[in-house]
Amino acid sequence: MIKTVFASGRLGEFGLGDGLPWDGHKYQSEDFKAFKEFTKGCIVVMGSKTFQSLPFKLPIRRNIVLGSKEVYAKNGDAPDQTFNLKALTENLPHVTYERWLRSISDWYKSDVVVIGGAELVVKTLAFCDEAMYTRYHQSYKADVYLPLLPKYIGSLVGYERFGEGKDFMDISYYKR
């Protein structure tokens, strides 16, 4: 199974430097808990800038990074695997992003979850089997935005809201 997990602000804000636009939000720990649960036992796939923004390699899960060079998490951890998928798909046109993700899932007999960055999440939403989307309902300063706001992901199968008034955060779960 292929999954994706991501969060945004009200206007699609996605990243800020090597952190998140809403860092320090009072309900962020609930988001972290849900992220941990959603990715438990999965292989995590991410772009190189996302890996560099992590404090450390995500524990217990195989961390696969897409990119052309070796990168490290903030504490110096290296990923388990780095894959230059752009070079591979240029040379072998039948190898698509989706086929590659499904082959990783088959090879390791494990679900794969794409955890960022913005373009990879949007590409994954086109075919993934499950998604978790956290929305922080304020506007934030950001330097990375989702290329488009996700409208249709699949069927909504779960929903939780944290907070009230204007400054709330909600987590939605989808299945195709």
Cβ closer to ligand NAP: 76 or 109?
Answer: 76
Among 43, 85, 132, 169, binds ligand NAP (CB under 6 A): 85
Q: What is the dihedral of CA 48, 153, 101, 13, to 10 degrees?
A: 0
Of 9-17, 24-32, 102-110, 156-164, which part binds ligand NAP (CB under 6 A)?
9-17
Chain positions 146 to 175 lying near ligand NAP, rule: CB under 6 A, are none
Cβ closer to ligand NAP: 131 or 158?
Answer: 131
């991501």: which residue's tokens?
A: 6
Rounded distance between C-alpha atoms, residue 142 and residue 64, angstroms: 25
């939780």: which residue's tokens?
A: 160
Among 67, 112, 136, 150, binds ligand NAP (CB under 6 A): 67
Q: Work out whether strand 130-136 and strand 144-145 pair parallel, antiparallel, or are unpaired.
A: unpaired
Binding mask 41-60 for ligand NAP (x = CB under 6 A): -----xxxxx--x-------
Which among 12, 25, 7 is positioned nearest to 167, based on CA atoms?
25
Cβ closer to ligand NAP: 109 or 121?
Answer: 121
Rounded distance between C-alpha atoms, residue 156 and residue 173, angstroms: 6
Q: Cβ of residue 34: shortest distance to ligand NAP, in angstroms?
A: 12
- The secondary structure element, H or E, covering residue 107 is helix 97-108
Of 11-19, 26-34, 105-113, 155-163, which part binds ligand NAP (CB under 6 A)?
11-19
- The secondary structure element, H or E, covering residue 158 is strand 155-162
Q: Cβ of residue 82: shortest distance to ligand NAP, in angstroms?
A: 9
DSSP 78: P
For ligand NAP, the binding residues (CB under 6 A) are 6-8, 14-16, 18-20, 46-50, 53, 66-69, 85-86, 97, 115-120, 144
